[in-house]
Chains A and B, each alone.
Chain A
């Protein structure tokens, strides 16, 4: 593998109407090649109808150390949760 290869994250939408889901990562020289490799590596069994690739270095990710300040303050605000909401008939997911 050459030195200038970059890591890319791969997102695949399995059907029309659904969201792209993260499926894994791969190495490639440029975004175009990453897209083709994503096709060859992650859609061999008809997994998708659309692919996104994003250079991993372009993703800003939260850290383990952020957890306390990010999520703990939400624990005592149950009124924000939808857990009490009754699902309308015929709706499977919201």
Chain B
């Protein structure tokens, strides 16, 4: 496999994470707890969908031919998506979405900072733009963790439930397969193993400050990078892809 094809697959992965998570966040639009938070969440969703577009556009250029960003977003079935499982889980209650977002953003920020130094100029440029967004997302997320974790009895209980439920999905963030191994060796991909301890320390510190307890790491699940998804992704894609499936090539 050529390096060009490797980079394309890698860019699609990063695009898939962004699109699927962005779609999940967008599900809060018009349903967030109050107006200000509704706009804030919609902004975050737009940041992620915009990020997906940048990664997909680059992948499409590498693929060549008739491939466009839409090819990746609208014409692939669940098995061809390679996003992390954490990104596709249903939005749950507000606490669930806050915790998922915090876990992911605490990973995304160092990941993008590392990717900024990629030998691939295009990936480095996308990472530099996305880093600024993620810095803001993480700041928001941290405050919500503290506010709700150390809030009322009910908010604390919901936050702890979300932390316990999502914890097993975080191991996958730091696992590297052959494709990423090759790209890390050639200085193109970010190596998440290098900041895994930092992530753990940062998350543990915020959980403690939020009076939440760190779960026992007694189970973990993976499979997103190889297309083995939870049953939730199919429903998400059914909604996301409906128009293009019903009217192929539709434009507006």
Q: Does B140 contact A (CB under 8 A)?
A: yes
- Structural contact, B143 and A1, CB atoms closer than 8 A: no
Does chain B have a CB within 8 A of A51?
no
**Which of the listed residues A28, A29, A37 has the most CB atoms from chain B within 10 Å of its own CB?**
A37
Q: Which chain B positions have C-beta within 8 A of A33?
A: 143, 147
Q: A1-B33, A1-B34 are in contact. Are A40 and B139 (CB under 8 A)?
A: no
Partner of A36, one of B33, B34, B35, B139: B139
Which of chain A's residues have a CB closer than 8 A to the CB of B35? 26-27
Nearest A residue to B139, CB-CB: A36
Q: How many residues of B contact A (CB 8 A)?
A: 13
Main secondary structure of the interface of B (DSSP, over half): helix
Interface residues of A (CB under 8 A from B): 1, 5, 26-29, 32-33, 36-37, 39-41, 44
Of the stretches B36-44, B76-84, B190-198, B210-218, the one at the interface is: B36-44
Q: A29-B147, A41-B36 are in contact. Are A36 and B43 (CB under 8 A)?
A: no
Which 9 pairs, one residue from A and one from B, show the smallest C-beta to C-beta distance?
A: A40-B40, A37-B36, A1-B34, A40-B43, A40-B39, A26-B36, A41-B39, A41-B36, A36-B140
